[in-house]
Structure 1
Amino acid sequence: MAENSVVTDVNPSADVTVHRRRVVVIGAGQAGLSAAYFLKRAGLRPGVDLEVLDANPTAGGAWSHRWDALTFDHVNGLHDLPDSRLGAADPAEPARDVVTRYYGRYEQEKGLGVQRPWRVRSVRAVDDPGARFRVVAERPDGALREYAAGAVVSATGTWDQPYVPWYRGRFGGRQLTTRDFTAPGDFAGRRVLVVGGGISAIQFVQLLDEHGVDTLWSTRTPPRWRDCPFDTEAGLGVENRVAARTRAGLRPRSVVAETGLPTSPSVLDAIDRGVLVSRGPIRALTSDGVDFADGTHEAVDVILWATGFRASLSHLAPLGIRERTGGVVMADDDVSVVKAPGVSLVGYGRSASTLGATRAGRRAARRAVDFTADLG
């Protein structure tokens, strides 16, 4: 595919040059970088046959948005990128800085030519003998880029889609989600309700308590503490259950729903002190707080919704791949989208972990190369 050739039959915007690429990778987190690495190793040239687009202004993917107090020793595992080693990291350094530095170094060392900040707005199928998809990306200043691509690897993760459950009533105080959190000091002198049953929620509760913030915790169901090690066999079981759901087109469940919550000495101490004890589910919001299902009411100043995320797939809406169940039907390779041949999802479902994302990147690259063999 020749670089920067103009396509006349994909309905491009007026006076916009449409760049031809054999494969476009959307997102430069763990999954996207892994896919890009294997595509380049297969012979695709960044900026000529391959384009990697990322919406963030810097390297690091979703990690670049994490808060200072999330130090690397609180990270639930980070797998090495392919043909690379993270090496020793200071456990007291913010995880954001560790990962952003590592991913940035990787992009440079592997020559992946990541283009940023470009947010992909849409991916459409086209009837073009030289391409199968039209990809439209937008820069923060409103500038547009359009690509004619033979295949698309979508690695957009979940950070852009925080999930907040609906409750009857209206709360008059401040509300924020995990992605809005900056520092525990922001809540000094306020009473905070943390909602959610995952790892982020228990980290928030502990962090706020450590900084003297009056904190309550609410979970929809009783916390599922895991009192056994999460070994390879357990991990494989989780992956198989997740794969069964995505192959059926069901929405992936939350991580904790599959793995349970890990315990540690600090977690056990917080439980003993009554800090990590859930007040149970919320029944309704009120102007000054919440009513719980047990009939009690608590006045709070802030609600922190640590209630998880949904996959960021809005850019793929024109392809009509979402089922009524909210999921996407995945093929047996767990990366190929059944309803859109040539589109791969990595970092989705089975490949949502950093280890799974690395392995999925390899599979997605192989599928993209095979799918576009007639275009090379």
Structure 2
Amino acid sequence: MREVDVVVIGAGQAGLSSAHHLRRTGFEPERDFVVLDHAPRPGGAWQFRWPSLTYGKVHGMHALPGMELTDADPGRPSSEVVAEYFDAYERAFDLRVRRPVHVRAVREGDAGRLLVETSDGTWSTRALINATGTWDRPFWPRYPGQETFRGRQLHTAGYTGPQDFAGRRVVVVGGGASGMQHLLELAPYAAQTTWVTRRPPVFREGPFTEDVGREAVALVEERVRRGLPPKSVVSVTGLPLNDAIRQGLADGVLDRLPMFDRITPDGVEWDDGRRVAADVILWATGFRAAVDHLAPLRLREPGGGIRVEGTRAVADPRIHLVGYGPSASTIGANRAGRAAVRDIRRLLAGAGRAAPDGSGVAPDAGRGVPVAVEAGG
């Protein structure tokens, strides 16, 4: 049993931002806090993105606090660019991330502490920052006849590039940025592509201003305040129009059909008699928050989500969710990490544990509002 003041779970944008603010305000890695990451190497979820998602195709990748990402080649895979940047960041700020460490459960301990059970033993902590993101929980919808389909089904999480679909008839399901990127990449290779979504896609003209960001975040934040599962920020901002998307619309690649009613052995069909033959169904249907390890704490509300104020779980002020709901963007995760550390310092000071620098509570730097989202996942 090892004791620390704070355990950070996850070393993506949200986890590294939180660790940076802990370090900056006097918490020492391994002595006062520890960062646990289940991935085999630095890079967070970015290291698993498909190779054809180059850095130049990423929208709104915001730098981590205290260190800019400079001179990145837009033609290189984002998985390589961001992984190298995160690796350099961890070393520059001496964050000492432990990996690969798999967190199995977080439970109530003695004397108001939490027990974090992992593949690397158990940690006893006074506070927890959960920064596990969503990549580990791809969402697969269920439709009648799905098990009868004789072709291939895969999710965005398993997509490796368009070459695998040469000469295939592909149905892409999902109205987000990933679905559009898949379609635009697949079109030159596939024999036929079909795009289906539950709702008509909403395309956004003009710049993504701070006011637009605030409105979008407010909608997501309202859901988590009510204890409902969060929607992604991009789901309420619309899809930004760029030259590639305009060309896809002009070429008919992004002609959208409403969601099919069933899956057949050879494709999909609708109740009105329409049928589309398919060799592949690619589910670009998003992800859910990876929070199953928190189940023993019973934080979920009847609506299915965890009720959060700022980053703090309403049911347990020791738990902070960074990169969850309204902070699920690169800039949002940065600001949420700062806010979580500020609140944790207050919590520890109230429990009689002074901050490492003896000041008790960090100055209120303000929560800020996330106004950028990244595409491709």
Q: In the alignment, what sits opposite 2:181? A: 203
Instruction: Show the counterpart of 2:366.
Output: none
Q: Measure how far apart 1:52 and its partner are.
A: 0.1
Q: 1:178 is matched with which residue?
A: 156
State the partner residue of 2:364.
Answer: none
Secondary structure in structure 2 of the residue aligned to 1:52:
strand
1:71 aligned to 2:54? yes
Distance 2:132 2:271 in 1: 36
Query: Is structure 2 residue 147 aligned with structure 1 residue 168?
Result: no
For residue 292 of structure 1, report the CA deviation from its aligned partner: 2.8
Q: Structure 1 residues 369, 74: CA separation in 2 closer, same or farther (over 3 Å shift)?
A: same
Q: Alignment identity in percent?
A: 47
Separation in structure 1 between the aligned mates of residue 24 and residue 209 of structure 2, nearest angstrom: 32
User: Are the aligned partners of 1:280 and 1:293 in contact in 2 as well (CA < 8 Å)?
Assistant: no
Identify the residue that residue 115 of structure 1 maps to in structure 2: 98
Paired position in structure 2 for 1:257 = 235
The 5-angstrom pairing of residues 5-84 of structure 1 reads 18-84=1-67
Name whichever of 177-186 and 247-256 sits farther off: 247-256
Kindly state the Cα deviation for residue 192 of structure 1 after the two structures are TM-superposed.
Answer: 1.0
Q: 3-state SS of the aligned residue for 1:127?
A: coil
**Deviation string, structure 1 residues 82-137 (Cα, Å, up to 9, x no partner):** 11111121111100111000000000000000000001111111222xx5100011
5+ residue gaps, structure 2, are: 355-377
Of 329, 348, 357 in structure 2, the residue corresponding to residue 353 of structure 1 is 329
Aligned residue type for 1:228: G
Native 8 Å contact 1:25 1:154 kept in 2: yes
Letter in 2 for 1:301: D
Matches within 5 A, 1:117-266: 117-128=100-111, 132-138=113-119, 144-170=120-146, 171-266=149-244
**In the alignment, what sits opposite 1:11?**
none
Q: Which amino acid aligns with 2:52?
A: A
1:297 aligns with 2:275: yes
Aligned residue in 2 for 1:141: none
Distance of 1:303 and 1:37 partners within structure 2: 41
* Cα RMSD after superposing both structures: 1.3
Take 2:68 and 2:207, find their aligned partners in 1: how far apart are those partners? 25
**Cα pair distance change 1:367/1:213, threshold 3 Å:** farther
Distance in 2 (alpha carbons) for counterparts of 1:211 and 1:285? 24
- Any idea what the Cα deviations from partners look like across 1:145-194, whole Å, max 9, x if unmatched? 10000100000000011111121112222111111011211112221111
Q: CA deviation at 1:213?
A: 4.7
**TM-score, normalised relative to structure 1:** 0.90
Structure 1 residue 227: Cα displacement: 2.2
Distance 1:39 1:117 in 2: 21
Residue 109 of structure 2 aligns to a residue whose secondary structure is: strand
For residues 34 and 267 of structure 1, the distance between their equivalents in structure 2, rounded to whole angstroms, comes to 32
3-state SS of paired residue (2:340) = helix
Aligned AA (2:320): S
Match of 1:320 in 2: 298
Distance (Å, rounded) in 2 between the aligned partners of 1:182 and 1:135 = 34
Give the superposition deviation at 1:365. Answer: 1.0
Structure 1 residues 91 and 223: CA distance shift in structure 2, 3 A: same
Q: Work out whether residues 39 and 369 of structure 1, in 8 Å CA contact, stay in contact via their aligned partners in 2.
A: no
The one-letter amino acid paired with 2:32 is D
Aligned length: 350
Q: Does the alignment pair 1:95 with 2:69?
A: no
- Counterpart residue identity of residue 356, structure 1: G
Q: Distance in 2 between matches of 1:115 and 1:342?
A: 22
In 2: Cα distance, 1:324 partner to 1:313 partner: 16
Q: CA deviation at 1:273?
A: 1.2
SS of 1:285's partner is: strand
- How far is 1:294 from its partner? 4.3
Segments of 4+ moved more than 2 angstroms: 210-214, 254-257, 292-295, 372-376
Deviation at 1:254, TM superposition (A): 3.4
Shift of 1:242: 1.2
* Alpha-carbon distance change, 120 to 184 in structure 1, aligned in 2, over 3 angstroms: same
